[in-house]
């Protein structure tokens, strides 16, 4: 679909009126700032890895996902 062009004020009005804005967006170039992954390395004691694995298995997610959820929740508290 070819992108259409409108002013920011028109875009805001359409957004507020819950109109379809997909014709005004280029989703192939869209990005979410601050969400680019950055690899970090953390050493955990063996018992902690075992507990993480148990919790992850119980929830049906990966260890990495579980760690991300735990850290995200804790950061939101602060």
Q: What is the pLDDT of residue 71?
A: 96
pLDDT value of position 37: 86
User: DSSP labels for 50-69?
Assistant: HHHHHHHHHHTS-HHHHHHH
pLDDT averages per 10-residue partition of the chain, 78 residues:
76 93 85 87 97 97 96 95
Rg, Å, the chain Cα set: 21
Domain borders along the chain are 1-29, 41-78
What is the DSSP-derived secondary structure letter of residue 20?
Answer: -
Give the chain's end-to-end CA distance (angstroms, integer). 43
Q: What is the pLDDT of residue 40?
A: 94
Q: How much of the chain is helix, strand and coil, in % rounded to 5? A: 55, 0, 45
């Amino acid at each position: 679909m070819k992108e259409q062009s409108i002013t920011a004020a028109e875009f805001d009005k359409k957004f507020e009126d819950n109109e379809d804005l997909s014709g005004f967006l280029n989703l192939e170039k869209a990005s979410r700032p601050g969400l680019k992954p950055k690899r970090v390395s953390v050493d955990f004691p063996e018992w902690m890895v075992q507990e993480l694995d148990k919790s992850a298995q119980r929830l049906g997610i990966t260890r990495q996902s579980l760690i991300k959820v735990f850290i995200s929740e804790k950061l939101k508290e602060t």
